[in-house]
Amino acid sequence: MMHLGKPFRSLALVGLATAGLVPSPCLGQIAHSAPGARVAAFARVPAARAMAVCGDALYIGTKGNAVYGVPLAGGPAVWAASGLVAPNGVACLGNRLYVASRDRVSTFTPVPGGRLANRADLPIRLPNQAHHGLRYIQAGPDGRLYISIGSPCNICQPEGLQGTIISISPNGGDLRRMAWGIRNSVGFDWNGGIMYFTDNGADRMGDDTPPDELNELQPGAFYGFPYFGGRVRLRGFEAAVPPAPQTPPAYEFQAHVATLGIHFYRGAMFPELQGEALIAEHGSWNRTIPVGYQVVRLRVGSSRSGNGQSFLSGVGRPVDVKELAGWIDCRL
């Protein structure tokens, strides 16, 4: 987990994650960030993934069985909760932390020092699938919880809640399918009352196709998978008739950059970023020439395709981006 700061001033935290968090530079890389900024390690968390601020701590989900907490006042990460199955997603709503595991959503009470208490599992069961089984969760401006559920494959026909974004009430009821035809979204945020979500494109169709996506959520809309990746027909479904008209991406990224967490900048330290999205590109794993491995900035609506403008690179494999009062947190 990295801290990004300007001399003599504090900044938000931008979170970047690999299997573990490491200080910059790492893997022989040299960190490159926005002009005038500096990068330093904030905390180390094993298998770190998504992040959320709740109470006096930053909570970090993982690919393992535990959630960690880092006190905002300073100090090492602490083991906040365990006994979960890939608790990737974390979100704060009211005075409760919600954790989206592979198979369920649990809620906890944050306690001082970055710990959690009073676990309660909501009465909702998610498809318990390992492939694309890392759930992402956020609290929307409407007070509801939004959860992504990936498709369990590279290219296949999803079933039930697979390949969707759903929303539920804070008590786990009133489930609504907000979007479908999604391959694997692991990040979303709101800007101007509109939710935008990333989606990872399919593999094994070449180095440069299909694109990764940024989509604008239109309630109930179909986003094309498995018939389309971006505007490209996917292998095995070239002649198949989609069940509904496709809502095309708001923006198409380079194939295989693996767009994950997204955050629209709302702070004052970087006025040039106001209203722009910061997007974690986790990086390719099977491309001839690797791409991604950076956080990019993007002004939605300024263009339809490309790769954004690099904001932070040379720090490993970014997973999520969060902004704190006085910080930017980047997880590696």
CATH of the domain at 238: 2.120.10.30
Both tokens assigned to 155: 């290219």
SS3 193: coil
pLDDT score at 29: 54
Helix (H, G, I), strand (E, B) or coil at 59: strand
How far apart CA 281 and CA 212 sit, in angstroms, is 10
pLDDT, residue 308, reads: 87
Domain containing 315: what range?
A: 2-331
What DSSP line would sit under 167-185, residue for residue? EE-TTS-S-EEEEES-S--
- Answer for the pair 258, 284: CB distance below 8 angstroms, yes or no: yes
Query: Chain-centre distance of CA 301, in angstroms?
Result: 20
For residue range 163-175, what is the model confidence (pLDDT) as tens digits? 999 999 999 999 9
Q: How many domains does the chain have?
A: 1
Q: What pLDDT sits at residue 25?
A: 39
What letters, b where the CB count within 10 A reaches 16 and e where it falls short, cover 240-272? eeeeeebbebbbbbbbbbbbbbbbbbebebbee
Predicted local confidence at residue 36, as pLDDT: 64
Which 3-state string (H, E, C) describes 238-294?
A: CCCCCCCCECCCCEEECCCCCEEEEEECCCCCCHHHCCCEEEEECCCCCCCCCCCCE
Residue 272, φ and ψ in degrees, nearest 5: -70, -15
pTM, to two decimals = 0.91
Chain centroid offset of residue 132 CA: 13
- Quick one: pLDDT at residue 269? 82
Cis preceding linkage at 226, omega within 30: yes
Cβ neighbours of 181 (radius 10 Å): 23
Q: Which amino acid is at 16?
A: L
Residues of the chain with pLDDT under 50: 5-28
User: What per-residue confidence (pLDDT) applies to 39?
Assistant: 80
Contact 110, 71 (CB under 8 A): no
Q: Could you read off the pLDDT of 286-330 as tens digits, one per residue?
A: 999 999 999 999 999 988 998 889 999 888 899 999 988 655 555
Contact between residue 145 and residue 188 where contact means Cβ atoms under 8 Å apart: no
CA-wise closest residue to 49 among 5, 91, 83: 91
